[in-house]
Structure 1
Amino acid sequence: MNRTKSTMRITHIDYTILGLLKQQPGTAYGIRKIFETTALGNFSSSPGTIYPAVRKLKKLGFVVDTDKHKRGSTMKLTDAGIAALKKWLLLPVKKEDITRNTNLLILRFAFMDDLIDMTSRVGFLEGFVHQVTMYLEELNIFYQKNADTLPVQGRIAFEHGLMQCQAHLKWGIHALKTLKVKGYEN
Protein backbone atom coordinates (compact mmCIF):
# COMPACT_ATOMS: atom_id res chain seq x y z
CA MET A 1 0.00 0.00 0.00
CA ASN A 2 1.52 3.30 -1.07
CA ARG A 3 0.25 6.09 1.17
CA THR A 4 0.66 9.79 0.57
CA LYS A 5 2.48 12.03 3.02
CA SER A 6 -0.81 13.46 4.26
CA THR A 7 -2.16 10.02 5.23
CA MET A 8 0.94 8.74 7.02
CA ARG A 9 0.47 8.50 10.76
CA ILE A 10 3.47 9.34 12.90
CA THR A 11 3.87 6.83 15.74
CA HIS A 12 5.68 6.96 19.06
CA ILE A 13 8.52 4.95 17.56
CA ASP A 14 8.84 7.52 14.75
CA TYR A 15 9.08 10.35 17.27
CA THR A 16 11.60 8.35 19.30
CA ILE A 17 13.77 7.94 16.20
CA LEU A 18 13.50 11.68 15.54
CA GLY A 19 14.54 12.37 19.14
CA LEU A 20 17.53 10.05 18.88
CA LEU A 21 18.63 11.62 15.60
CA LYS A 22 18.25 15.09 17.13
CA GLN A 23 20.64 14.07 19.87
CA GLN A 24 23.11 12.64 17.38
CA PRO A 25 22.99 11.81 13.65
CA GLY A 26 23.19 8.07 13.06
CA THR A 27 22.30 5.09 10.94
CA ALA A 28 19.19 2.92 11.05
CA TYR A 29 21.42 0.09 12.26
CA GLY A 30 22.76 2.32 15.04
CA ILE A 31 19.22 3.21 16.07
CA ARG A 32 18.35 -0.49 16.22
CA LYS A 33 21.33 -1.05 18.52
CA ILE A 34 20.21 1.79 20.80
CA PHE A 35 16.76 0.20 21.03
CA GLU A 36 18.32 -3.18 21.80
CA THR A 37 20.76 -2.02 24.47
CA THR A 38 18.90 0.69 26.39
CA ALA A 39 15.59 1.19 28.17
CA LEU A 40 14.14 1.80 24.71
CA GLY A 41 13.99 -1.98 24.52
CA ASN A 42 10.32 -1.58 25.47
CA PHE A 43 9.88 -0.72 21.80
CA SER A 44 10.56 -3.27 19.11
CA SER A 45 14.09 -3.12 17.74
CA SER A 46 13.38 -5.51 14.91
CA PRO A 47 14.43 -4.56 11.39
CA GLY A 48 10.75 -4.89 10.45
CA THR A 49 9.97 -2.01 12.79
CA ILE A 50 12.98 0.32 12.55
CA TYR A 51 13.73 0.28 8.81
CA PRO A 52 10.14 0.98 7.66
CA ALA A 53 9.91 3.78 10.23
CA VAL A 54 13.14 5.33 8.90
CA ARG A 55 11.85 5.05 5.32
CA LYS A 56 8.62 6.77 6.36
CA LEU A 57 10.52 9.59 8.07
CA LYS A 58 12.62 10.07 4.94
CA LYS A 59 9.52 10.08 2.73
CA LEU A 60 7.95 12.72 4.97
CA GLY A 61 11.07 14.84 4.62
CA PHE A 62 11.86 14.67 8.35
CA VAL A 63 15.18 12.85 7.89
CA VAL A 64 17.87 13.00 5.19
CA ASP A 65 20.98 10.96 4.48
CA THR A 66 24.24 12.85 4.94
CA ASP A 67 26.73 10.18 3.88
CA LYS A 68 26.88 6.48 3.04
CA HIS A 69 29.18 3.85 4.54
CA LYS A 70 29.35 0.15 5.36
CA ARG A 71 26.57 0.14 7.98
CA GLY A 72 24.21 2.30 5.88
CA SER A 73 23.65 6.00 5.55
CA THR A 74 24.16 8.47 8.35
CA MET A 75 20.94 10.40 8.82
CA LYS A 76 20.10 13.74 10.38
CA LEU A 77 16.91 15.68 10.99
CA THR A 78 15.67 18.29 8.57
CA ASP A 79 13.99 21.49 9.72
CA ALA A 80 10.64 19.75 9.12
CA GLY A 81 11.79 16.86 11.31
CA ILE A 82 12.81 19.23 14.08
CA ALA A 83 9.44 21.01 13.83
CA ALA A 84 7.54 17.69 14.03
CA LEU A 85 9.60 16.59 17.04
CA LYS A 86 9.02 19.92 18.80
CA LYS A 87 5.29 19.71 18.19
CA TRP A 88 5.22 16.25 19.81
CA LEU A 89 7.35 17.34 22.74
CA LEU A 90 5.08 20.31 23.43
CA LEU A 91 1.85 18.30 23.57
CA PRO A 92 0.10 18.80 26.91
CA VAL A 93 0.22 15.99 29.44
CA LYS A 94 -3.17 14.26 29.60
CA LYS A 95 -4.63 11.78 32.06
CA GLU A 96 -4.40 8.92 29.54
CA ASP A 97 -0.67 9.64 29.19
CA ILE A 98 -0.31 9.06 32.92
CA THR A 99 -2.43 5.92 32.96
CA ARG A 100 -0.94 4.33 29.83
CA ASN A 101 2.27 6.00 28.66
CA THR A 102 4.25 7.36 31.60
CA ASN A 103 7.52 6.01 30.19
CA LEU A 104 6.80 7.82 26.94
CA LEU A 105 6.29 11.07 28.87
CA ILE A 106 9.68 10.62 30.52
CA LEU A 107 11.20 9.99 27.09
CA ARG A 108 9.58 13.15 25.73
CA PHE A 109 11.06 15.08 28.65
CA ALA A 110 14.51 13.60 27.98
CA PHE A 111 14.39 14.77 24.35
CA MET A 112 13.54 18.36 25.35
CA ASP A 113 17.12 19.25 26.35
CA ASP A 114 18.25 21.86 23.84
CA LEU A 115 15.11 21.92 21.74
CA ILE A 116 12.47 23.26 24.11
CA ASP A 117 12.70 26.49 26.14
CA MET A 118 12.89 26.31 29.92
CA THR A 119 9.42 27.76 30.46
CA SER A 120 7.89 24.98 28.35
CA ARG A 121 9.95 22.30 30.11
CA VAL A 122 8.75 23.56 33.48
CA GLY A 123 5.19 23.71 32.13
CA PHE A 124 5.49 20.12 30.95
CA LEU A 125 6.61 19.00 34.41
CA GLU A 126 3.88 21.01 36.12
CA GLY A 127 1.34 19.30 33.86
CA PHE A 128 2.91 15.94 34.67
CA VAL A 129 2.76 16.57 38.44
CA HIS A 130 -0.83 17.84 38.20
CA GLN A 131 -2.06 14.83 36.20
CA VAL A 132 -0.23 12.32 38.41
CA THR A 133 -1.65 14.00 41.54
CA MET A 134 -5.20 13.83 40.17
CA TYR A 135 -4.80 10.18 39.15
CA LEU A 136 -3.25 9.26 42.50
CA GLU A 137 -6.26 10.79 44.27
CA GLU A 138 -8.58 8.59 42.16
CA LEU A 139 -6.53 5.51 42.95
CA ASN A 140 -6.48 6.28 46.67
CA ILE A 141 -10.26 6.77 46.76
CA PHE A 142 -10.79 3.45 44.99
CA TYR A 143 -8.32 1.72 47.33
CA GLN A 144 -9.95 3.11 50.47
CA LYS A 145 -13.39 1.95 49.31
CA ASN A 146 -12.36 -1.46 48.00
CA ALA A 147 -9.16 -2.69 49.69
CA ASP A 148 -11.00 -4.92 52.15
CA THR A 149 -13.00 -6.67 49.42
CA LEU A 150 -10.17 -7.24 46.93
CA PRO A 151 -8.54 -10.68 46.74
CA VAL A 152 -5.14 -10.58 48.44
CA GLN A 153 -3.13 -10.80 45.20
CA GLY A 154 -5.40 -8.23 43.56
CA ARG A 155 -4.91 -5.84 46.49
CA ILE A 156 -1.14 -6.35 46.41
CA ALA A 157 -1.07 -5.76 42.65
CA PHE A 158 -3.16 -2.60 43.11
CA GLU A 159 -0.73 -1.43 45.80
CA HIS A 160 2.07 -1.83 43.25
CA GLY A 161 0.22 0.56 40.96
CA LEU A 162 -0.25 3.02 43.82
CA MET A 163 3.42 2.90 44.75
CA GLN A 164 4.45 3.31 41.12
CA CYS A 165 2.21 6.36 40.80
CA GLN A 166 3.65 7.78 44.03
CA ALA A 167 7.16 7.28 42.61
CA HIS A 168 6.16 9.14 39.41
CA LEU A 169 4.88 12.02 41.53
CA LYS A 170 8.08 12.08 43.60
CA TRP A 171 10.17 12.12 40.40
CA GLY A 172 8.06 14.92 38.88
CA ILE A 173 8.45 17.10 41.97
CA HIS A 174 12.18 16.37 42.07
CA ALA A 175 12.59 17.22 38.38
CA LEU A 176 10.59 20.42 38.79
CA LYS A 177 12.67 21.52 41.78
CA THR A 178 15.88 20.69 39.91
CA LEU A 179 14.89 22.75 36.87
CA LYS A 180 13.60 25.66 38.89
CA VAL A 181 16.78 25.80 40.96
CA LYS A 182 19.19 25.45 38.02
CA GLY A 183 16.94 26.32 35.14
CA TYR A 184 16.28 29.90 34.33
CA GLU A 185 19.95 30.78 33.88
CA ASN A 186 20.17 28.41 30.88
Structure 2
Amino acid sequence: MKSRQIVLGILMRSPQTGYDITQMFQTSFAFFFDSSSGMVYPVLRKLEKEGKVTKEVVPQDGKPDKNLYTITQKGKEEFTEYLSSPVERQIKKSDFLARLMFGDYMEPDQLREIIEDYVRKEKEETELLSERLEKYINKSSRKMTDTETLAYEYGVEANKFQVEFFEKWLENHPKI
Protein backbone atom coordinates (compact mmCIF):
# COMPACT_ATOMS: atom_id res chain seq x y z
CA MET A 1 0.00 0.00 0.00
CA LYS A 2 1.36 3.33 -1.00
CA SER A 3 0.16 6.81 -0.22
CA ARG A 4 -0.89 7.31 -3.84
CA GLN A 5 -3.36 4.43 -3.59
CA ILE A 6 -4.90 5.91 -0.46
CA VAL A 7 -5.18 9.31 -2.14
CA LEU A 8 -6.88 7.70 -5.14
CA GLY A 9 -9.21 5.78 -2.82
CA ILE A 10 -10.21 8.96 -1.01
CA LEU A 11 -10.93 10.61 -4.36
CA MET A 12 -13.07 7.63 -5.44
CA ARG A 13 -15.72 8.81 -2.97
CA SER A 14 -15.79 12.44 -4.08
CA PRO A 15 -13.59 15.33 -5.20
CA GLN A 16 -11.48 16.66 -2.34
CA THR A 17 -9.00 19.42 -1.56
CA GLY A 18 -5.46 18.63 -0.48
CA TYR A 19 -6.42 19.84 2.99
CA ASP A 20 -9.37 17.42 3.12
CA ILE A 21 -7.13 14.53 2.06
CA THR A 22 -4.54 15.48 4.69
CA GLN A 23 -7.29 15.46 7.33
CA MET A 24 -8.26 11.94 6.27
CA PHE A 25 -4.64 10.79 6.67
CA GLN A 26 -4.51 12.33 10.15
CA THR A 27 -7.78 10.77 11.25
CA SER A 28 -9.14 7.72 9.49
CA PHE A 29 -5.81 6.35 8.28
CA ALA A 30 -3.61 7.29 11.24
CA PHE A 31 -4.01 3.91 12.97
CA PHE A 32 -2.46 1.95 10.14
CA PHE A 33 -0.67 4.26 7.75
CA ASP A 34 2.24 6.41 8.82
CA SER A 35 2.38 9.55 6.74
CA SER A 36 3.50 13.12 7.06
CA SER A 37 1.20 16.02 6.39
CA GLY A 38 3.59 17.22 3.67
CA MET A 39 3.23 14.01 1.68
CA VAL A 40 -0.21 14.66 0.17
CA TYR A 41 0.61 17.57 -2.14
CA PRO A 42 3.60 15.95 -3.89
CA VAL A 43 1.47 12.82 -4.47
CA LEU A 44 -1.36 14.94 -5.90
CA ARG A 45 1.05 16.78 -8.22
CA LYS A 46 2.48 13.48 -9.45
CA LEU A 47 -0.97 11.95 -9.98
CA GLU A 48 -2.06 15.09 -11.84
CA LYS A 49 1.05 14.94 -14.06
CA GLU A 50 0.26 11.28 -14.82
CA GLY A 51 -3.33 12.16 -15.74
CA LYS A 52 -4.81 10.20 -12.84
CA VAL A 53 -6.39 13.22 -11.15
CA THR A 54 -7.51 16.61 -12.37
CA LYS A 55 -7.35 19.87 -10.46
CA GLU A 56 -10.02 22.55 -10.52
CA VAL A 57 -9.18 25.95 -9.03
CA VAL A 58 -12.18 27.14 -7.02
CA PRO A 59 -12.25 30.89 -6.23
CA GLN A 60 -13.27 31.86 -2.69
CA ASP A 61 -14.36 35.25 -1.38
CA GLY A 62 -11.80 36.77 0.97
CA LYS A 63 -9.71 33.59 0.97
CA PRO A 64 -7.09 32.09 -1.30
CA ASP A 65 -8.42 29.94 -4.13
CA LYS A 66 -8.68 26.26 -3.31
CA ASN A 67 -7.72 23.34 -5.49
CA LEU A 68 -10.32 20.60 -5.83
CA TYR A 69 -8.98 17.27 -7.05
CA THR A 70 -11.04 14.69 -8.93
CA ILE A 71 -9.99 11.19 -9.91
CA THR A 72 -9.92 10.44 -13.65
CA GLN A 73 -10.73 7.17 -15.42
CA LYS A 74 -7.00 6.43 -15.54
CA GLY A 75 -6.82 6.97 -11.75
CA LYS A 76 -9.85 4.73 -11.20
CA GLU A 77 -8.16 2.01 -13.22
CA GLU A 78 -5.01 2.22 -11.07
CA PHE A 79 -7.07 2.13 -7.89
CA THR A 80 -9.14 -0.84 -9.11
CA GLU A 81 -5.92 -2.64 -10.02
CA TYR A 82 -4.60 -1.96 -6.51
CA LEU A 83 -7.76 -3.40 -4.91
CA SER A 84 -7.47 -6.50 -7.10
CA SER A 85 -3.81 -7.09 -6.28
CA PRO A 86 -2.74 -9.45 -3.48
CA VAL A 87 -2.78 -7.88 -0.01
CA GLU A 88 0.76 -7.04 1.03
CA ARG A 89 2.16 -8.69 4.13
CA GLN A 90 2.13 -6.32 7.07
CA ILE A 91 5.55 -5.16 8.08
CA LYS A 92 5.65 -4.31 11.73
CA LYS A 93 8.56 -2.33 13.02
CA SER A 94 8.48 -1.42 16.66
CA ASP A 95 11.29 0.16 18.61
CA PHE A 96 9.22 -0.50 21.72
CA LEU A 97 8.98 -4.26 21.10
CA ALA A 98 12.66 -4.44 20.17
CA ARG A 99 13.53 -2.90 23.53
CA LEU A 100 11.24 -5.36 25.31
CA MET A 101 13.13 -8.21 23.65
CA PHE A 102 16.28 -6.88 25.32
CA GLY A 103 14.58 -6.03 28.59
CA ASP A 104 16.78 -8.50 30.47
CA TYR A 105 19.66 -6.07 29.98
CA MET A 106 17.81 -3.17 31.62
CA GLU A 107 17.30 -2.27 35.21
CA PRO A 108 13.74 -3.17 36.32
CA ASP A 109 12.86 0.50 36.88
CA GLN A 110 14.01 1.38 33.36
CA LEU A 111 11.91 -1.42 31.86
CA ARG A 112 8.84 -0.35 33.85
CA GLU A 113 9.36 3.24 32.75
CA ILE A 114 9.51 2.23 29.09
CA ILE A 115 6.29 0.22 29.37
CA GLU A 116 4.48 2.94 31.33
CA ASP A 117 5.59 5.54 28.79
CA TYR A 118 4.32 3.36 25.94
CA VAL A 119 0.95 2.90 27.66
CA ARG A 120 0.66 6.65 28.24
CA LYS A 121 1.48 7.43 24.61
CA GLU A 122 -1.01 4.86 23.30
CA LYS A 123 -3.75 6.33 25.47
CA GLU A 124 -2.92 9.84 24.26
CA GLU A 125 -2.82 8.73 20.62
CA THR A 126 -6.18 6.98 20.86
CA GLU A 127 -7.73 10.06 22.45
CA LEU A 128 -6.16 12.44 19.92
CA LEU A 129 -7.23 10.34 16.94
CA SER A 130 -10.75 10.03 18.30
CA GLU A 131 -10.94 13.83 18.73
CA ARG A 132 -9.56 14.45 15.23
CA LEU A 133 -12.00 11.99 13.70
CA GLU A 134 -14.95 13.50 15.52
CA LYS A 135 -13.96 16.99 14.33
CA TYR A 136 -13.55 15.69 10.80
CA ILE A 137 -16.94 13.96 10.84
CA ASN A 138 -18.62 17.09 12.21
CA LYS A 139 -17.05 19.24 9.46
CA SER A 140 -17.70 16.74 6.68
CA SER A 141 -21.00 16.60 4.87
CA ARG A 142 -20.88 12.85 4.49
CA LYS A 143 -21.29 9.93 6.85
CA MET A 144 -18.60 7.28 7.33
CA THR A 145 -19.21 4.10 5.38
CA ASP A 146 -19.49 0.73 7.11
CA THR A 147 -16.00 -0.26 5.98
CA GLU A 148 -14.47 3.05 7.12
CA THR A 149 -16.13 2.52 10.49
CA LEU A 150 -14.81 -1.06 10.59
CA ALA A 151 -11.21 0.08 9.99
CA TYR A 152 -11.47 2.92 12.51
CA GLU A 153 -13.07 0.80 15.22
CA TYR A 154 -10.43 -1.89 14.69
CA GLY A 155 -7.69 0.69 15.22
CA VAL A 156 -9.27 2.01 18.41
CA GLU A 157 -9.84 -1.49 19.80
CA ALA A 158 -6.28 -2.57 18.92
CA ASN A 159 -4.88 0.42 20.81
CA LYS A 160 -7.16 -0.25 23.77
CA PHE A 161 -6.08 -3.90 23.82
CA GLN A 162 -2.39 -2.93 23.90
CA VAL A 163 -2.98 -0.52 26.78
CA GLU A 164 -4.97 -3.07 28.79
CA PHE A 165 -2.45 -5.83 28.05
CA PHE A 166 0.54 -3.87 29.30
CA GLU A 167 -1.31 -2.37 32.28
CA LYS A 168 -2.28 -5.90 33.37
CA TRP A 169 1.28 -7.13 32.79
CA LEU A 170 2.70 -4.36 34.96
CA GLU A 171 0.11 -5.12 37.64
CA ASN A 172 1.14 -8.79 37.63
CA HIS A 173 4.85 -7.93 37.73
CA PRO A 174 5.20 -5.41 40.57
CA LYS A 175 8.97 -5.96 40.89
CA ILE A 176 9.53 -4.64 37.39
Query: Do these two structures clear the TM 0.5 threshold for a shared fold by scoring above it?
Result: no
Coarse TM-score class (shorter-chain normalised): 0.3 to 0.5
Under a length normalisation based on structure 2, what TM-score does the superposition of the two structures give?
Answer: 0.45
TM-score, normalised on structure 1? 0.43
